[in-house]
A and B are shown apart, each in its own frame.
Chain A
Amino acid sequence: MMGVQPFETIVGAHHAEIYRYIRRVTSRATEAEDLSQETFLRAYRAYRTLGPEANVRAWLFAIATNLTRNHFRSEKRRRTAHLAASVEGREADPEGPEDEARFREAKTLLESTVRGLPLKQRLAFILRKIHDLDYEAIGRSLDCSAESARAHVFQALRKVRLSLNGHALPPETSPTNMEQPR
């Protein structure tokens, strides 16, 4: 009669990741706070109807994505404003080793490119590349097929490629304190 597991367990296991996901998409702490909370309040209302086989994590990402999309739809003007604001990235550490400085610069550029992507591409890119969701789950989150989800990620990568054009990147490896590419 009850849901798959106590809701507190679900919150404990997934809240931080969902918050970080939304935080990256919206880039505003207050929005991320509100939307991540809203995600779990929605989830609370519905989680008892989840089957025991349900992928709770993918389900939460779908709710979060949906809320975020609605949020942007209803606040288009604010979105434009915050895009402009968010371009001011973090500064590269000028005193660090040359590779690291170059890497940070690329990372900052990448972050601002990602923020400038059309929403669906941005969401698909973040879900796939940051949170490792499979394309089926991304498709469900974005109301599209797995193939379209894959195409969104591809288009996003192409744009990233273009924006980093002419930018020297450390060859294939990142500094040791960063996570290795897969």
Chain B
Amino acid sequence: MNLVEVKNLYVTFGEHTVLDDISFTIERGDIVAVIGPNGAGKTVLIKTLLGILKPASGDIVFKKGLKTGYAPQKLEFDRNFPMTVEEFMLMQSHDRIIFPSKEGKQKISTLLDEVGVADLGLKKIGDLSGGQLQRVLIAASLAGDPDIVYLDEPSAGVDIGGEQTIYHLIDNLHKTRGLTLVLVSHDIDFVYRASNKVLCLNKRKLCFGVPEVALTAEVMNKVFLEMATPYHHKDHEET
């Protein structure tokens, strides 16, 4: 069953086309990995699917009553603002912050436990490490009992050891909750191991399908050579 169907999607910023004629479908139970070089439009695609950005043209059809969760790549907020993890989770699950319901508090403690940060409820959200914050964001994305969750670079700001733990957690959540997941990832090992669909993006759609089939040598070259292109610093320019 299709949860999301994207047809001929174009997104523009002024005169710049950021997404150029993108079409694909997401089915229930999919783990769709979105890969591509920096500036390929991965985050723009996620934000457009979430309704944060408006497409210039094209259609996005959602299954009726689809509930969505989202963990952003970077959470822009005042890190000195006094808000605890528990308050953040209550806010995201539409429970009361001042007089939270018993069920609401219980649910939050279960969610935090599920992502392995059960002891962080009373900690200020600005005091969390990169890995802890990612886990809390993943827990918050589950607060509304979503059918589909979008995770934008869930391993951003996490050290190398922690990265594997985050991907292991995502894999686990998919298996235990049967969630449909769309995640931006640069971890090719995870893409092969855990995702059942891969969308290669570089403004245009370069591939879409089962990783073993879609990621041909030609596509890999197009996507990953561009990802690996060294930064050309102006100090090193020949004069």
Decide whether A and B assemble into one complex. no
What residues make up the interface of B, taking CB atoms closer than 8 Å to A? Answer: none
What residues make up the interface of A, taking CB atoms closer than 8 Å to B? Answer: none
